[in-house]
Structure 1
């Protein structure tokens, strides 16, 4: 695993954590698309990665099912993202408590729309080594 890969994984974890803490999105809405776009993961791998990040203890069996059925998971990647997610979640929640509820709803909606448009119309994958 290269330094640039570790930095990318940390960035994904922090971004997912900040958005999770601030607007309640992270796993499926943030980590899955970023794993597809920047890590070159398939949809199954990305979903497995998202589950693996949240594996302790809630979704471990679900992530393991993806892994067992041939959708390779790099557990090291999941652990790095998970550690960064904790940090990002803390700072995201600090931001959210200072944002008006109506504005927070609008931010959440815009994030969902942007991700949906990107996933539907521009789903090219880029891999890292």
Structure 2
């Protein structure tokens, strides 16, 4: 029993470390580990994953705010649509089968993984448009412009947030994915901020960590009320993810964005394939195909 708990803490610590480096909650590791190794029912695994997302967000987000990488204003703006999506996703997960949405999300994440790979060198060249698009009324209205100090490049990076409406819509989808699949939604939000809104990768990662705790808290409330939260698994998962996230957030800014994007591409690629295969498998089990 002790060995099983220790192994789960170690797995969760790795999930927290990876999550801090690419801006996700670690659910892509924790959910498969619980279902495949510990034979935990998938709804209980998703609930435990969402609790771990809250823990890793608290641990990682605090470090990024201290380093002044997180764009709090952007996070609060996107959280409106993300939280709404998380509530919708959790409701769908409890009453509907999500095989179609699994495939859709998988295709969306795969597309963003490819785009992240193509633009892997863009951030380190510091090629960011700091001027707002005057034709985009919402972009001009919220006027989010900020900067951070990149330790890997040893210089200050300035940027402006673009296409807020598109980013908000994708964040809504990310929230649905969080509640429905227990993935935290960070993998989609990071890609949306970096590719659509032209936010530096490191800022996207830090801001995602700031957001995903709120998103997961919304979804996990419904899982808790439905009785899906099992404290036997939640406690070691939370301890491990906090430890991993704390360490990961302290070293992320020391890596070049190219490395973070390549790591993001690998994680997003794996996640997208897993989601698509899960959707196809669930559809076949229901005799859809």
Give deviations 1:34-82, integer Å, cap 9, x for gaps: 22222222332221111223278844563342244353x3213212211
Question: How many residues of Structure 1 are paired with residues of Structure 2 in the alignment?
Answer: 121
SS at match of 1:39: coil
Bigger drift between 27-36 and 95-104 goes to: 27-36
Kindly state the Cα deviation for residue 18 of structure 1 after the two structures are TM-superposed. Answer: 0.4
Alignment match, 1:17: 16
- Structure-2-length-normalised TM-score: 0.36
Bigger drift between 57-66 and 110-119 goes to: 57-66
Alignment match, 1:110: 266
Residue 89 in 1 paired to residue 88 in 2? Answer: no
- Which consecutive unaligned segments of at least 5 residues does structure 1 have? 123-129
Alignment match, 1:126: none
Distance 1:13 1:6 in 2: 10
- The list of structure 1 runs, each at least 4 consecutive aligned residues, that deviate by more than 6 angstroms after superposition, is none
The answer (yes or no) to whether the contact 1:16–1:25 under 8 Å persists in 2 is no
Kindly state the Cα deviation for residue 110 of structure 1 after the two structures are TM-superposed. Answer: 0.4
- Which consecutive unaligned segments of at least 5 residues does structure 2 have? 59-212, 279-289
Kindly state the Cα deviation for residue 19 of structure 1 after the two structures are TM-superposed. Answer: 0.8
Structure number with higher helix proportion: 1
- Structure-1-length-normalised TM-score: 0.73
Q: 1:21 to 1:60 in 2, by over 3 A?
A: closer
Larger Rg: 2
Bigger drift between 22-31 and 100-109 goes to: 22-31
Distance 2:2 2:17 in 1: 22
SS at match of 2:37: helix
Distance 2:236 2:259 in 1: 31
CA-based RMSD of the aligned residues comes to 2.8
Alignment match, 2:233: 77
Structure number with higher strand proportion: 2
Alignment match, 1:6: 5
